[in-house]
Structure 1
């Protein structure tokens, strides 16, 4: 699990022009699954979204996720995800708080972990989080969020996966 995340981190840190921000995440589910996520986000997109949806900023985020069964560490699953993320500034000027949401796609290396059967390697990634710039002198943020993976009943069974997570993001 840590080897895969370490490889992604090394690639991202050696080629920072790919992204504006890196993030590192720890995740846990009620199904006794735990995992890590390492990824990057492109934030400087030349897109202006309409005011009627609150004028959020649009980002694109890609990541590598790896989870394992807490009761059987040899049972694990890995996924590559890419998602557009909408980010709304909801409070604070010097230490802002953001509401973020997105729906993207994921490709899993297999279709089962523990008692969760996903049926397809393609899954949608639905997520929502609160992200906070905790220090005025740094643009780094922490985020607390929830993510759901599901194939939207493309094929059954569609048990899906649900994770609560804590993330640290470091802009360049």
Structure 2
């Protein structure tokens, strides 16, 4: 057996494990979306429109999107847990690796989200987390980092507050992470701090 064949045999189990983990994540997201499709409450019309902006190392983002309330609710301790689905388009302005100085890309995202409100859901404050999928128009590269895939996963944590007579306005601070979950390397990941405003219909 050649050295090349031996190295290939060693790497195959690692590749299978990575693909298996990615497949499990995709199956979970697919199951969530399929449950939404079979739900009694339709996904349209959307429940809110949002815009957000943020930054990471050398990159600025501007995002717009829509959300749809889902019919899933749970009592969790002294608060209430609700769910929604968001779809968004983002424009990224990147400090490029070459002499051009700046480059850009587009990102599309679909993310199921869980939101928790204290006081049995009556509090104006909320906390949320979400995990979803994204696709970019090109591979993300900066002076510090280089991704290997245009397909990535998105996770976020956020804290926010609703205001207005009918809670029709929302402001939230979000920490978002993008990476491909080890599907392909390099996979440095990127973290963004985002400020979001949403207007509920």
Q: In which range does the TM-score fall when normalised by the shorter chain?
A: 0.7 to 0.9
Correspondence for 1:22: 49
Q: How many residues align?
A: 153
Question: Is the strand fraction higher in 1 or 2?
Answer: 1
Unaligned runs of 5+ in 1: 1-16
User: Which of 27, 31, 34 does residue 60 from structure 2 map onto?
Assistant: 34
Q: Could you say which residue in structure 2 is the equivalent of 1:81?
A: 109
* Maintained 8 Å contact 2:95/2:142: no
**By percentage of residues, which structure has more helix?**
2
Q: Are the counterparts in 1 of residues 138 and 150 from structure 2 also a CA contact under 8 Å? A: yes
* Secondary structure of 2:171 counterpart: strand
* Root-mean-square deviation over aligned CA pairs: 2.4
TM-score (norm 2): 0.68
C-alpha deviation, 1:74, in angstroms: 3.6
- Give the TM-score normalised by structure 1: 0.79
**Residue 154 and residue 18 in structure 1: after superposition, are their counterparts in 2 closer, same or farther (change >3 A)?**
same
Q: How far apart are the structure 2 equivalents of 1:58 and 1:92?
A: 15
Q: Deviations over 1:31-78 (max 9, x none)?
A: 1211100001001x22234748x6410100010011112576641121
Could you list the runs of 5+ residues in structure 2 that have no partner in the other structure? 1-43
Query: 2:158: which partner in 1?
Result: 129
Looking at CA atoms only, which structure, 1 or 2, has the larger radius of gyration? 2
